[in-house]
Chain A
């Protein structure tokens, strides 16, 4: 059972993961020990998995290529889709994996340095996993929004600077 404090903390971290436990305590009207206990609990429950930064790599000089791969698989007895998904998540190239409803089973988000590397990953490793019956690869061309943040487009504050 998650407490109101837990939910506050998650909302704060969603907005800005740099907020310190002390600040969180102030913001939620609790004390630092309670916040730390809550953070521990959330980590133990697998709710808080990590703290990453949202980076728009497209604005850097780093070379990379990303693709969404639709994967069809044969679900395994007892384990359903989980066993194959567990194998797919092991690869460093794989950034996200989702079980989907609809025309295909798993959606795999991949990243590699070059097109050639990504292609090689798909045809020589992903497609050859036992139980994978087909893949369809779509390259990403541009990121407009990610993790709730607008990457491409205006994020300007349009408000008048001083208003009564």
Chain B
């Protein structure tokens, strides 16, 4: 069969992820240290795992409501109110999804029509642009830079807006740069948007992982922005629950309705065990004053400081990230492209990083290093990177 002719061009034209190549090489290297992992190095706390096990033993094996478990939605509502001062009704303004990833897909399918543009600050997470493309829209990268701490500036936003602009994705705290946006910076963005009909998809999956006195601001908590914002979040990063695949999308009822409709027809509901585990995760966090999360953040923060200092010390200029668990140093001084740097580093010294270009063309000249790995691994990886850079 002539698949090329038959298959959906919108899908086949999207290039495969730039990360795949590195994944395949690393797999052949038993001694490789990977700084390429985009998930916590903590295992889900036992009491959360135990809640899921117990639910299986008790026979909780059925579909849940399309919206997700009611008690979970109530806890999410309480959490967002307490933590970020945003109020969503657990009844019809919070939708439990299969990870925040489903939320991205739902949001794009619900709002993008063929011919629409979606603005995406870049570098950023790999799935936004394909999600826009799959929906027939055009992803429009808006370059951010280390000079601006990888924040989206009002000027860059204003310059990118056209009559075709349907939505803006706000990916902060940011993967891969670790950039965050302060409340004031977000208010500046809000001022650009307030007289438009542009929707905002705010991906706040790393909201809990912020450092150095930074406090995360939910975009929907900014005056006038709630009505145009779809907030995406989930349990993967803050509660070390990546494989459970539980996230949520929040928006005013009428805006969330089309996301709900797609979810209802295509997904039905997130896995019940994942939802029960997530329910326990939030329940436990309320009981313990988020001690697990705090301890995890303290640990990431120390590794973050170590990474930034050492990378700068070896001449790889490193902007100080204030969120997520990545550093995004510049490798321009080495004269190598991001891809060549990462390939050679991996081949010569068995350290896996991800080239900045995997996160958009504007990531050229940078590499992403995750510090979600043990102190021992980090120290050894830094030693090898230093050796590699010195020998260049």
Contacts and interface: CB of A to CB of B under 8 A. Distances in A.
Interface in B294-318: 295, 298-299, 302-303, 305-306, 309-310
A161 B352 contact: yes
- A interface, by DSSP: helix, strand, loop or mixed? loop
B312 to A, nearest CB: 10
A15 interface: yes
B127 interface: yes
Interface string A145-164: 00000000000010111111
B34 A162 contact: yes
A147 B303 CA distance: 22
Contacts of B32: 161
B39 interface: yes
Interface stretch (A22-30, A63-71, A102-110, A123-131): A22-30
A162 B19 contact: yes
B309 A163 contact: no
Nearest to B342: A162
Interface string A1-30: 000000010011001100100010011110
A85 B295 CA distance: 34
Nearest to B37: A159
A164 B17 contact: yes
Contacts, number: 67
Nearest to A22: B309
A15 B23 contact: no
A127 B175 CA distance: 63
A11 B299 CA distance: 8
Contacts of B298: 8, 11
Contacts of B354: 162, 164
A161 B32 CA distance: 9
Central interface residue in B27, B36, B352, B373, by most chain A CB within 10 Å: B36
A161 B34 contact: yes
A12 B298 CA distance: 10
B177 to A, nearest CB: 13
A159 B241 CA distance: 12
Interface in B26-47: 26-27, 32, 34, 36-39, 41
B27 A161 contact: yes
Contacts of B295: 11
A50 B240 CA distance: 32
B108 interface: no
Interface residues of B, number: 36
Contacts of B305: 26-29
A interface, size bucket: 10 to 19
Central interface residue in A26, A29, A159, by most chain B CB within 10 Å: A159
B125 interface: yes
Contacts of B125: 164
Interface string A93-104: 000000000000
B302 A8 contact: yes
A11 B375 CA distance: 12
Contacts of A162: 19, 22-23, 26, 34, 36-37, 352, 354
Given A23-B306, A161-B352, A162-B36, A16 B376 contact: yes
A153 to B, nearest CB: 13
Contacts of A23: 306, 379
A16 B376 CA distance: 8
A164 B358 contact: yes
Given A8-B298, A26-B306, A163 B375 contact: no
B126 interface: yes
B302 A163 contact: no
Contacts of B306: 23, 26-27
A146 B330 CA distance: 41
Contact of B39 (A27, A28, A159): A159
A163 B236 CA distance: 13
Given A157-B41, A164-B126, 4 more contacts: A23-B306, A161-B27, A162-B26, A164-B175
Interface of A: 8, 11-12, 15-16, 19, 23, 26-29, 157, 159-164
